[in-house]
Amino acid sequence: TPQHVKAVFDNMLSRSPKNHFTVGIVDDLTNTSLSLGPDLDTVPAGTVQCKFYGLGADGTVGANKQAIKIIGDHTDLFAQGYFAYDSKKSGGFTVSHLRFGKKPIQSSYLITHVDYVACHKASYVRQYDILDGLREGGAFVLNSSWSLKDMEKELPPAMRRIIARKKIKFYNVDAVKLATDLGLGGRINMIMQTAFFKLANVLPFKEAVDMLKASIRDAYGDKGDKVVNMNISAVEKAMDALQEVKYPAAWADAPDEPENTLEEPEYISGYVRPILAQRGDKLPVSAMFPDGVVPPGSSAYEKRGIAIDVPEWQPASCIQCNQCAYVCPHAAIRPFLLSAEESAGAPASLSQVKAIGKELDGLKFTMQIYALDCQGCGSCADVCPAKQKALLMKPLESQAVAQEANLAYVRGHVSIKDGLLPRDQLKGSQFYQPLLEFSGACAGCGETPYVRLLTQMFGERMTIANATGCSSIWGGSSPSNPYTVNKDGHGPAWGNSLFEDAAEFGFGINMAYDLRRARLVDLAQRLQKEKIPATLHKAIDAWLAGRDDGAASGPLGEAVLDELAQSPSGDLAHEIWQLADFFAKKSVWIFGGDGWAYDIGYGGLDHVLASGEDINVLVLDTEVYSNTGGQSSKATPLGSVAKFAASGKKTDKKDLGRMAMSYGYVYVASVSMGANKTQLIKAFKEAEAYKGPSLIIAYAPCINQGLRKGMGKSIEEEKLAVESGYWPLYRYNPELAAKGENPLQLDGKAPDGTLQSFLSGENRYAQLERSAPEESRRLRAGLEKTCNARYNLLKQLSELPGK
């Protein structure tokens, strides 16, 4: 800002200028920062400065770009826009900084003096300094469903004081309700943009509306008339929905609320909280952690509250199948079992019913909703098989208070009872704690449910080497870490190298583990040759025999350590203690998307698969480069529209699974959660247990595919993909070949003839149907041929006699 620039000049003018100075950060370690003078405003008079707080993918940024274009194209005004994002996927935080004025704009810095603020997400009022820098008499538009009375309790006192003291022109619009009524879902951008043109006085309103409508036709034309008309109605109806809030003068003296006395670790209160509140730039250098290690579990503190609707559990109709938890991309709905004592102490708002099943005899069952962590995708409610839906989507405001209170009880007083049902079955798996929770993925993301499930199956001994891409972004958006630990402090260790070398990175980790475990084996065997108690000797024998069994090796190792603790300690024992972490067999996973596995990291992936080492690869196949906005990869199927394939991809999807199968010693599975939940668990289990390389290719619906029914249907889409023959389900297990059986098991049925309707349900295919019907037909016929041929081939291969 000009303040910083002036500090540099002031330094030059000072008697003893600082050499090697920093400006813009508070360097309290080497003390090189320049101090700042008083606030400065150098923007030419008459420039209108506006800030918009939006939720990623709610259309705010796009609408602002459009506003700039409209104003730039149709007036003599100068315009400037800058868009700041956090590193979440859609559903994250965005701020748009817009300036308009008669004089050229040379302010290449964020807006500090604001004339117009729009807050597109009501829950932001408690999370961010929305009114920071708003001028006396400036305008503030809030999208909320609140009445004036609600605002007395929903708006923080400091915000009410600023509004009244600065005589802010304050407007509210219930844009979510209007957008929902119009069929626009969460896309409130046109409503908010209309409010902007009405209130910011940049253009005569009538003209602005006409231009807005023209730009809608332009921008949404390729999505069809229905979408165009819905957006035009949004503009027309927005004016009535916009209400000036006649707040009382008493707001100027709104008293503070009692302080929140919640105890939080220093890492959270001193480091994570300021960053989440967008005040990270103000943290001093001493607040940073120089070793790059990020403590686990910090995403649980975010409580983003971004869902519009969250599920409400209806205990009477629930059949306790746990499918809702199984498909949740955000681990925001989880079953708990309560003992008699835990049940008796629960708050009345916590619904509980008798747990079904003889293994759970005497226990109560509850399905806990994490209302403020839920992203409102609706996948859970969609998948619920109960005759009468046992999950109903209800407005967040109606659920949050009770559910957060229930959650506090469950967290503090209810133990996780995970050993009662098998871990490798759908229902049982969900009583295990997810060690991936509340990630920054888009609502309804197809990738995260796979990884969440993996952490429930192997999390406490997992190490993950993550390729850059969506999974590294939702998996590690500093400062929130969605990978967490169980009550013993065990959870996935996670690292991200580059886009192109995740396989090599994971291979290196695996190699180091192997060497260190080999050392541990050697030490243990040498110890056995010394004079040690028979019980220790026996414990070591047991561990040596079971050390390569993932589930058993940990407890067997604990038994050795228990014995060792009671024996005289020497150098050997000392060294064994240092390697104590390696008694449990690690579950090493390499994660990445199709852009990594099929394209950029393929060389390394192939090398690692060919190594024969015991290592696992999970490819989250969205059939495009999802993280960078949907570019075509070699996983993109024939006929699909993607960036770099605007007229439909002209070549077939690479058959990565078949290529890997050709080695003969690689475990390969093709899975799709929504199609066959049991097959998926089997594949994870077999791959992990297989003492060689394994590759799992998982079909992952993604916002870039344009599911016409929305991402709440991503699990359903996974089912349709398999039924129509679009996605194959199989497992190729070299261990079967070793037993003389056919290694390939085909888990999907023959294509049922619904392929074309499946394709029409996704914009990536439907788009071409509208823009180039002829070409679309040709490519889609080709795709159908490929899918059928692939099925027939797999079928033939799976029917060959074993040797």
- Which residues in this chain contact Mg ion in the complex, by CB under 5 A? 593-594, 622, 626
| Residues of this chain, 87-126, that bind ligand SF4 according to CB under 6 A | 89-90
445 binds ligand SF4 (CB under 6 A): yes
CB nearer ligand SF4, residue 320 or residue 745: 320
Instruction: Report the residue from 119, 441, 556, 597 that binds ligand SF4 according to the rule CB under 6 A.
Output: 441
Binding footprint of Ca ion, residue count (CB under 5 A): 4
| Dihedral sign from CA coordinates of 98, 103, 106, 112 | negative
Token pair in block for residue 696: 């799992």
Secondary-structure percent of the chain, ordered helix, strand, coil, rounded to 5: 45, 15, 40
CA 410-412-414 angle, to 5 degrees, is 50
Least distance (Å) between residue 319 CB and ligand SF4: 4
CB nearer Ca ion, residue 617 or residue 755: 617
Q: Judge whether 680 and 671 are in contact, CB under 8 Å.
A: yes
Least distance (Å) between residue 682 CB and ligand SF4: 21
474 binds ligand SF4 (CB under 6 A): yes
CB nearer ligand SF4, residue 309 or residue 688: 309
470 binds ligand SF4 (CB under 6 A): yes
| Residues of this chain, 309-338, that bind ligand SF4 according to CB under 6 A | 310-311, 313, 318-324, 328, 330, 332-333
CB nearer Mg ion, residue 382 or residue 594: 594
Question: Which partner in ligand SF4, Ca ion, Mg ion, none is near 328 (CB below 5 to 8 A by kind)?
Answer: ligand SF4
Token pair in block for residue 780: 């889609």
Quote the CA–CA distance of 271 and 282 in Å, as a whole number: 11
Tell me how far CA of residue 281 lies from CA of 24, 308, 524, 707, in angstroms: 8, 30, 51, 38
Instruction: Report the residue from 299, 368, 375, 403 that binds ligand SF4 according to the rule CB under 6 A.
Output: 375
Residue 330, classed as helix, strand or coil, is coil
| Residues of this chain, 701-720, that bind ligand SF4 according to CB under 6 A | 702-704
Question: Which partner in ligand SF4, Mg ion, Ca ion, none is near 594 (CB below 5 to 8 A by kind)?
Answer: Mg ion
CB nearer Mg ion, residue 501 or residue 594: 594
> 550-565 vs 571-578: helix axis angle to the nearest 10?
140
Q: Which stretch binds ligand SF4 (CB under 6 A): 100-108, 370-378, 653-661, 690-698?
A: 370-378
| Residues of this chain, 609-628, that bind Ca ion according to CB under 5 A | 614, 616
CB nearer ligand SF4, residue 320 or residue 406: 320
Binding footprint of ligand SF4, residue count (CB under 6 A): 39
Quote the CA–CA distance of 34 and 24 in Å, as a whole number: 8
Quote the CA–CA distance of 286 and 443 in Å, as a whole number: 35
694 binds Ca ion (CB under 5 A): yes
Least distance (Å) between residue 375 CB and Mg ion: 19
Least distance (Å) between residue 617 CB and Ca ion: 9
Least distance (Å) between residue 758 CB and ligand SF4: 19
Residue 711, classed as helix, strand or coil, is helix
Quote the CA–CA distance of 645 and 767 in Å, as a whole number: 12
464 binds ligand SF4 (CB under 6 A): no
Q: Which stretch binds ligand SF4 (CB under 6 A): 195-203, 385-393, 411-419, 489-497?
A: 385-393
Alpha helices by DSSP H, listed for 531-587, are: 534-546, 550-565, 571-578
Alpha helices by DSSP H, listed for 14-85, are: 60-74
733 binds Ca ion (CB under 5 A): no
Residue 104, preceding peptide bond in cis (omega within 30° of 0): no
Cα of 614 vs its chain's centroid, Å: 28
Residue 750, classed as helix, strand or coil, is coil
Find, among 331, 343, 336, 335, the residue nearest to 302 by Cα: 331
Per DSSP, what are the bridge partners of residue 667? 694
Instruction: Report the residue from 690, 719, 742, 778 that binds Ca ion according to the rule CB under 5 A.
Output: 690
CB nearer Mg ion, residue 230 or residue 467: 467
Alpha-carbon radius of gyration of the chain:
29
Q: Is 39 exposed, middle or buried (0-12, 13-18, 19+ CB in 10 A)?
A: exposed
Question: Which partner in Ca ion, Mg ion, ligand SF4, none is near 321 (CB below 5 to 8 A by kind)?
Answer: ligand SF4
447 binds ligand SF4 (CB under 6 A): yes
Cα of 362 vs its chain's centroid, Å: 37
Q: Judge whether 324 and 388 are in contact, CB under 8 Å.
A: no
Which chain residues interact with ligand SF4 by CB under 6 A? 89-90, 310-311, 313, 318-324, 328, 330, 332-333, 367, 374-380, 384, 386, 390-391, 441-442, 445, 447, 470, 474, 622, 626, 702-704
Which chain residues interact with Ca ion by CB under 5 A? 614, 616, 690, 694
